[in-house]
Structure 1
Amino acid sequence: MNAPPTIDLARISAMDQAQAARLLKGVRDAALSGRRPHLLPRPVIGDSWGRMLLGGVDPDHDVRARPLGEEEVAERRRASPLADVLPDLRDILVSVADAAQHIMVVCDADGRVLWREGSAAVLRRADALGFELGADWSEGVVGTNGVGTSLVVRRPVQVFSAEHFVQTHHAWTCTGAPVTDPRDGRLLGVVDVSGPLQTVHPAMVALVDSVAKLAEARLRDRHVTALDRLRAVAAPVLARLDGRACAVDAHGWTAAVTGMPPVDRLALPKSLAAGRTWLPSLGPCLVEPLPGGWLLRLDDPGGTPQPVTATRLVLDVSSPRRWTLSVLGGARDWTHDLSPRHAELLYLLCTSRAGRTASDLAEDMFGDPARTVTVRAELSRVRRYLGGLLAHRPYRFPEDVDVDVIMPERSADLLPHSTAPTVRAARQGAEP
């Protein structure tokens, strides 16, 4: 039997709003009752509804967590890198939002509302929904929505009317796009434009996504400026040294080197401190503080970095939003936070010990075995911190290294950002 067609949001947006809302309500009602629908929800919405059903979110009534107090909101604002790019967000989005009877909302990585601006009338309607400063708008609290769902899938999401899982939000439309830190890929939060469902427009997705990318570009510019300052401080220090040394910022980005090939970035432990230590990419070294970063002096001036060794690798993908790889049993145990793409690739490799070619992984990731360039580029970055622990031709881990994968309790929470066909199949309970 052929599957029903999937909803096209552009066509829905072109309909009479009441007609579109009724159509989406019928799709949602069928999904909640287990009946076969005439139309399927969009994949990002259907996946989110599945998470809500498994998580026990009430589809009929919203649940409002206690909003943060004024002092905690102020503290989170001060700590958020998004505060630095707020003027850019305002310049573009607030005027658009106000004219279109929307509001601009900026949330942190926990889904907490830190800033709101725009139409006064819509702000009052948002207050009635609990969409206020300090509110928790994460998916597990308020169901499928442009803020919380965008945080989970790490890509732009527009949610219209009955695509919201919770019925009390059906009069609303929201479009969110995540903002990540260009220094380390950490999720910083979401930029969102929300308003009454009558104001929905599919072009809003492209606008909000463009503004989120602009924010990331501004943060990248600030990072380059900070590296230039560190380079200016480090250059005279490195000029006086013999042997191998480098200056890096707190995230491991290299500002300057001497006596060794330059690399873009080094894997650093979270709690790096002055003194002697061991780093997976360098081996034993002396760490000294610099303004804006660290000076790393290698203990063996004429040698080469020690190879990474281990007897066990542990890939932890149990969390829907943070993934780590631990290397155990070597010269030092260490843990590395993974980007979304590296988490996907390492999951595919850890669950296929026989190894995968670049073509195999391209098929797993994109459904297209010809997309090997992206795969090889990402795995070359992985090998910078894994070294000989990741062989190639095919890509695989050594047979004498135990590989464990810590999975989430629910398969639906496995790398929920991933659109890789093999990962999607695993989320639905099929073998990877």
Structure 2
Amino acid sequence: MTDVRDELQARRLDAVRAWTRFVELGDDAEAAVRPEIRRSWELSGSAITYDVAEAPLDDEGDTAAYWLDTPLAVAVGNVESELRRTAEDGDLVIAVTDAETRILWTYGGRVMRRKAESVNFVPGGRWDESSVGTNALAITNRTGDPSMVFSAEHYASMVHNWVCWAAPLHDPVSGEQIGVIDLSTTWDRTHPIGLATARVMARLIETAMPRTRQWADASRAPVPPDEPGLTLSLLGTAEAWLDGQRLLLNRRQTEILALLTMHPEGLSVEQLHAAVYGDQAVTLSTLKAEVSHLRAALGGALASRPYRLMLPVRTDVDEVLALLRRGAVRAAVSAYRGDLLPGTNAPALVELAEFLAVSVREALLARPDPAAVLRYSELAPYDVQVLEVALAALGPRDHPAKPLLKGRLAVAHR
């Protein structure tokens, strides 16, 4: 036992030395750490400082609502006794995340539970590299491969006393990676079977997951919101809701509403006319009549001179753009339900539709996440380049999405 402890002490010391060289002295530490750790350190260093004290927290209610609407919640509920027993026997904290490395569920042994709470390793905690730096959850979610991070291999010093093992979780129907499971404990309890245990726990959860399409496709259909204000869905099928109630609008009214959400500062009647009709021979009075109907539908919350909306607004277009800015490609593709107002001839909306479509595609070419590419291929089944780039990025390694990507590619080549 002493020999094992000495080996772990020496390994920890090596990790601390390499971390110090990289983080504090600016040395690349190339020969001192595994390539996946060094790559993760580089990503982390461009986003955070090493002295971050805790993970940022998402809203507790939003996280809980999201969790209950996922197949992972069903699966974990089915095998929770096994997960809890594993955590208690090994004094581990076990976590399940979503595809963006937000923790959705945890259970911990007595000691690790307190340690986890102190750094927000709890539901709602964001453990991606841009939030807390190198850790096994983030590496696995980014690469799709099982991973281990030991002691000072973590970028943030707050978890230098930890060791973490993570494995990906896949939807059994689509093959999409929808999160990870992570097992964490203190570095001195490192065990050779830690990574194998994470893989076993992942398979246990995947086996317990519901095997119906409703889970895989649920995020594609607009859901009536329960928040006040205006919610506008423009991607794929257009829908508008005011304070949770669906608005019955015609095509032009929806286009006008979309344009006003793009211009919160307001538009003059001439500017709005050009954005909607371009050089078509349509009178200003026609536009004013549409605006009048729209104002009535909005309960008067549409000002004039200039035309502008006078209430809180949320759109799926803004959601996709915000996710792309964060680099959350998989989530952005999931939120991108199709072309913006397909068939619109409003010049400003045609331009926005092209900008959004190209942005999503370029994001996939830069970061060809297999699950995201599969979702995208449902919308653009003949985009051969995106499929080829995703398969090239996977290389020879096995991945549940690879047969599906090859199938999509074969169909696209027909």
**TM-score interval for Structure 1 and Structure 2 normalised by the shorter chain:** 0.5 to 0.7
Provide the rounded CA distance (Å) in 1 between the counterparts of 2:114 and 2:52.
Answer: 20
Q: Does 1:184 align with 2:210?
A: no
Q: What does 1:143-162 align with in structure 2 at a 5 Å threshold?
A: 143-162=133-152
Provide the rounded CA distance (Å) in 2 between the counterparts of 1:133 and 1:375.
Answer: 31
**Counterpart of 1:335 in structure 2: which amino acid?**
A
Residue aligning to 1:58: 49
Structure with higher strand content: 1
Q: Secondary structure at the match of 2:380?
A: strand
Residue aligning to 2:27: 35
Does the CA-based 8 Å contact 2:116-2:122 persist in structure 1? Answer: yes
C-alpha spacing 1:79/1:365, structure 2 compared with 1 (3 Å) = same
Of residues 178, 190, 210, the one that matches 1:200 is 190
**Counterpart of 1:366 in structure 2: which amino acid?**
P
Q: What does 1:311-390 align with in structure 2 at a 5 Å threshold?
A: 316-317=363-364, 318-319=366-367, 321=369, 322-323=372-373, 334-336=379-381, 346-347=388-389, 365-366=395-396, 379-384=406-411, 386-388=412-414
Residue aligning to 1:47: 39
Measure how far apart 1:344 and its partner are.
7.9
Does the CA-based 8 Å contact 1:325-1:337 persist in structure 2? Answer: no
Provide the rounded CA distance (Å) in 2 between the counterparts of 1:54 and 1:80.
Answer: 32
Provide the rounded CA distance (Å) in 2 between the counterparts of 1:186 and 1:348.
Answer: 13
Measure how far apart 1:91 and its partner are.
3.4
**Counterpart of 2:104 in structure 1: which amino acid?**
L
Does the CA-based 8 Å contact 2:59-2:124 persist in structure 1? Answer: yes
Q: Secondary structure at the match of 1:95?
A: helix
What is the CA deviation profile of residues 208-238 of structure 1, one whole-angstrom value per residue up to 9, with x for unaligned ones?
112212322333x6339x89xxxxxxxxxxx
Residue aligning to 1:119: 109
- Gaps in structure 2 of 5+ consecutive residues: 221-234, 240-356
Measure how far apart 1:38 and its partner are.
8.4
Q: Does 1:91 align with 2:81?
A: yes
Of residues 207, 211, 221, the one that matches 1:222 is 211
Q: Does 1:173 align with 2:163?
A: yes
Measure how far apart 1:100 and its partner are.
1.4
Measure how far apart 1:326 and its partner are.
7.6
Structure with higher helix content: 2
C-alpha spacing 1:316/1:138, structure 2 compared with 1 (3 Å) = closer
C-alpha spacing 1:31/1:336, structure 2 compared with 1 (3 Å) = farther
C-alpha spacing 1:74/1:251, structure 2 compared with 1 (3 Å) = closer
C-alpha spacing 1:205/1:89, structure 2 compared with 1 (3 Å) = farther
Measure how far apart 1:380 and its partner are.
4.2
Provide the rounded CA distance (Å) in 2 between the counterparts of 1:30 and 1:40.
Answer: 9
**Counterpart of 2:212 in structure 1: which amino acid?**
H
Q: Aligned pairs, how many?
A: 273
Measure how far apart 1:205 and its partner are.
0.7
Measure how far apart 1:51 and its partner are.
1.2
**Counterpart of 2:62 in structure 1: which amino acid?**
E
Does the CA-based 8 Å contact 1:13-1:201 persist in structure 2? Answer: no
Q: Once the two structures are aligned, what percentage of the paired residues are identical?
A: 23
Please give the TM-score of this superposition, normalised by the length of structure 2: 0.55
What is the CA deviation profile of residues 248-288 of structure 1, one whole-angstrom value per residue up to 9, with x for unaligned ones?
x8899xxxxxxxxxxxxxxxx97699xxxxxxxxxxxxxxx
Provide the rounded CA distance (Å) in 1 between the counterparts of 2:382 and 2:73.
Answer: 24
Measure how far apart 1:153 and its partner are.
1.1
Q: Secondary structure at the match of 2:91?
A: coil
Provide the rounded CA distance (Å) in 2 between the counterparts of 1:84 and 1:375.
Answer: 26
Q: What does 1:67-82 align with in structure 2 at a 5 Å threshold?
A: 67-69=58-60, 71-82=61-72
Does the CA-based 8 Å contact 2:141-2:180 persist in structure 1? Answer: yes
Using CA pairs under 8 Å that are at least 6 residues apart, name the structure with larger relative contact order, 1 or 2.
Answer: 2
Measure how far apart 1:126 and its partner are.
1.0
How large is the RMSD of aligned CA atoms in angstroms?
4.2
Residue aligning to 2:15: 24
Measure how far apart 1:319 and its partner are.
4.7
Provide the rounded CA distance (Å) in 2 between the counterparts of 1:337 and 1:73.
Answer: 36
Provide the rounded CA distance (Å) in 2 between the counterparts of 1:82 and 1:377.
Answer: 22
Does the CA-based 8 Å contact 1:178-1:187 persist in structure 2? Answer: yes
Q: Secondary structure at the match of 2:104?
A: strand
Measure how far apart 1:182 and its partner are.
2.5
Does the CA-based 8 Å contact 2:148-2:165 persist in structure 1? Answer: yes
Provide the rounded CA distance (Å) in 2 between the counterparts of 1:375 and 1:122.
Answer: 37
Q: Secondary structure at the match of 1:222?
A: coil
Please give the TM-score of this superposition, normalised by the length of structure 1: 0.53
Does the CA-based 8 Å contact 2:44-2:132 persist in structure 1? Answer: no
Measure how far apart 1:90 and its partner are.
2.4
